[in-house]
Amino acid sequence: MDKNGNIIADDFQHGENFKIGGFCLIEPDVIVGDDVKLGHYVHLASGTRIGNNVDFARRCYTTGLCYIGNGVNVRAGSCVSKGLVIEDHAFIGAGIMSSHTRRPSHGIRRIEPEQYISRIGYGAIVGSRVNLTAGVIVGPGCIIGYGANVIEDCTEPGVYIGNPAKRSFDVADDMKIEVPGDYRQHCFDRDMVEEYLPHYKLPAMCDMDGSLGIVCQECGKPLDLENTACPVAVICDECHHKLVKRHRGMD
C-alpha cells in the first residue's frame, strides 16, 4: 500500500503521464496506456486493458476482462463489466451498469453458465444510470438516454430512450461523430477470452466437413478469423463497414 492508500499489483503496467487518486485497487494483469487518469476509489480487476487519454472517474470499477478505448471518458460510479469493449472516444455517463451474463446462478438450482461480449461503438454516448444487458451492441455514434434499459442491439444511428430502450430521435447534426474510414474495432486476445471468459460461446455453425466455424452475428456468414479485424469477432468486416456507412448516412 502506498502513502495514498492505493494497493497496486507488482506487474501493473502504465504509460506516460499516469495519474491516480487515493484508495484505489489495481489487481494483477492490468495494462493502461498514456495519459490515463484514475479517480479516487477506483478498482481495476485482472484482465482490464485501457488505451490512451482516458479519464476513469472516482468509484468506477471493472470486473474482469474488458477494453476501454482511446479518448474514452467514464464518469463516476460506473461498472465496466467483464466482456465489455468500449470503442474509442465513447462517453460513459455516471453510474451505468453492464453485465457479462444473462444466466446468474442464485444457488437454488443449477443453471448452465453463459458469458457474453458487449460492445459500445466509436463515439457513442451512454447516459447516466443506463443498464446494458449482456451481449448487446451500441452502434457508433448512437446516444443512449439517461436511465434507459438496453436489452437489444442499438445499431441504427439515433437517440434511444426508455425501458426497453427504443430509437426515438435522430442525432442532432452538432452531435454526430465521423468514424474514420480506416478505424478497426478493438478486440480481445483469444487466450485472454479463454482465461477470463471460460463460458463465452462464440456463434458457430457446422461447415461441410462437420467442423465448427465462427459466423457473423449480423449476416450469418462464416468469419475468416485470419483476416478479420477481431480474432474473437462477433461481426465481419463487411457488416462493420455497413454499420459505419449507415452511421454516416451513406447507406
Domain ranges of the chain: 1-189
List residues bridging with 8 in a β-sheet.
Answer: 26
Task: Please state, in angstroms and rounded to a whole number, the distance separating the CA atoms of residues 113 and 198.
Answer: 9
Grid cell for residue 92? 460513459
CA distance 195 to 175: 38
Phi, psi of 116, deg, nearest 5: -130, 160
Dihedral-angle region of residue 181 (phi above 0 means left; psi in -120 to 50 means alpha; beta otherwise): alpha
Give the bridge partners for 79, in sequence order: 61
27 Ramachandran zone, left/alpha/beta (phi>0; psi -120 to 50):
beta
* Higher pLDDT among residues 68 and 189, named by residue: 68
Cis peptide before 157 (omega within 30 of 0): no
| pLDDT at residue number 213 | 44
pLDDT band at 181 (very low <50, low <70, confident <90, very high): confident
pTM of the model as a whole: 0.81
Question: At which residue does the C-alpha cell 480474432 appear?
Answer: 231
Confidence of residue 235 (pLDDT cuts 50, 70, 90): low
Q: Given this model, what pLDDT does residue 219 score?
A: 61
The DSSP output letter for 173 is: G
Q: Is 225 helix (H, G, I), strand (E, B) or coil?
A: coil
104 or 175: which carries more pLDDT confidence? 175
Q: Which are the contacts of 76, defined by CB distance < 8 A and separation ≥ 6?
A: 39, 57, 58, 59, 60, 94, 95
CATH of 1-189, one of 2.160.10.10, 2.40.30.260, 3.40.50.2300, 3.40.50.2000: 2.160.10.10
